[in-house]
Amino acid sequence: MAELEFRDAVRDALDEELARDEAVVFFGEDVARPGGVFAVTGGLQERHGSMRVFDTPISELAIAGAAFGAAISGLRPVIEIMFGDFLFLAMDSLANQAAKYWFVSREQASVPLVVRSAVGAGGRFGAIHSQMPVPWFQGIPGLKIVAPSTPRDAKALLKAAIRDENPVLFLEHKRLYALKGEPGDDGEVAQLGRANVVRTGSDLTIVSAMKGVHDVLAAAEQLATEGIDAEVVDLRTLRPLDRDTVLESVRRTNRLMVVEEGPRTGGWAGGVLADVTEDALEYLDDAWRLTTADAPIPYSPPLEDAFLPSAESIVASVHEHLNTRPVNSSA
């Protein structure tokens, strides 16, 4: 079967959900006629019409506000906030209104809206077009955060997000858009809140999400050649977290490493560590995280490369914690 590209997976999910449910609408800046700045959403307006797929002004407050109001009034809006960094402008409608409405209205209306946003560093976009917005939303009950790592998951999880009755933040890592991979079964819909064990191993569990999963898998291959057998967990949904899958794995491997692209302070990796230490302390020999520094993301290539977790830095960190040595190290 032909491989599926991540950006096409996102588009296909939108396409299929727009076709399946009349209530689904999609809007954002330059998404319809130009097809999006990351070339993800081309052709959707032609197929579904400009009543359902349309371009907006540069008005993040209005886009998010309108999505909230529409979601409680019979539509299932999907919006694009072009870069995750621009979510700050859309914050009130998402965090204060959409996330709380089901609760404060005593369940009079759910808020089925999806916010798609391109996130993450490594593209030399600098401090204000590269951030990972997860921590800003992590502490807000009432919304979900979905963070796929593969084309197949991107499609199946976006379809699930659109069908979910809660507001969902759907994160697309910029450095995954060109990734190709196995497509899923036709019409596959994933379940939100479920992690996947994407590599089995017995020496330690490494948990990550999005681009990080690929770095961790590459690191695990390297570690395997050095006699260290890592299990890799792809979280796929960052809120709610699939604690059970992580705990089950750690109970077997007794070691937990969490790799997060994002600042150490306030990050989701700290939450995973806290959950596991609370619930499985007696199983743990070691638990730690590899994150980015508590600093804004630099532009200059050598600075940005050193800033981000990589397969090499993951391997080095594992050796440090296991008191082992890299095979080809002269140290």
Q: Is 3 an active-site residue? A: no
- Rounded distance, CA 115 to CA 253, Å? 36
Near another protein by CB under 8 A: residue from 85, 153, 164, 242: 85
Secondary structure percentages of the chain, helix, strand, coil, to 5: 40, 20, 40
Q: Does 91 bind another protein (CB under 8 A)?
A: no
What is the SS3 assignment for 248? helix
CA 31 vs. chain centroid, Å, equals 20
Stretch that binds another protein, among 120-128, 131-139, 194-202, 236-244 (CB under 8 A): 120-128
Residue (29 or 242) nearer to ligand TPP, CB? 29
Inter-residue contact 252 to 271 (CB < 8 Å): no
Residue (187 or 301) nearer to another protein, CB? 301
What are the phi and psi torsion angles at 116 (to 5°)? -90, 140
Q: Does 82 bind ligand TPP (CB under 6 A)?
A: yes
Near another protein by CB under 8 A: residue from 6, 27, 68, 86: 86
Near another protein by CB under 8 A: residue from 73, 186, 302, 331: 302
Stretch that binds another protein, among 217-225, 272-280, 289-297, 318-326 (CB under 8 A): 289-297
What is the SS3 assignment for 268? helix
- Sort 139 into a burial class: Cβ within 10 Å, 0-12 / 13-18 / 19+: exposed
Q: Does 29 bind ligand TPP (CB under 6 A)?
A: yes
Question: Of these residues, 60, 80, 231, 260, which one is catalytic?
Answer: 60
Angle at 114 between CA 112 and CA 116, to 5 degrees: 180
Q: Which two three-digit tokens encode residue 229?
A: 């057998």
Query: Which of 110, 72, 117, 73 has the alpha carbon at shortest distance from 91?
Result: 117
Query: Which of 120, 33, 54, 58 has the alpha carbon at shortest distance from 84?
Result: 120
Q: Is 60 an active-site residue? A: yes
Q: Which does 303 bind (CB under 5 to 8 A by kind): another protein, ligand TPP, none?
A: another protein
Stretch that binds another protein, among 101-109, 126-134, 145-153, 316-324 (CB under 8 A): 126-134
Footprint on this chain of another protein (rule: CB under 8 A): 29-30, 33-34, 37, 55-62, 85-86, 89, 123-129, 293, 295-296, 298-303, 305-307
Footprint on this chain of ligand TPP (rule: CB under 6 A): 29, 58, 60, 82, 86, 89
- Residues with a known catalytic role: 60, 129
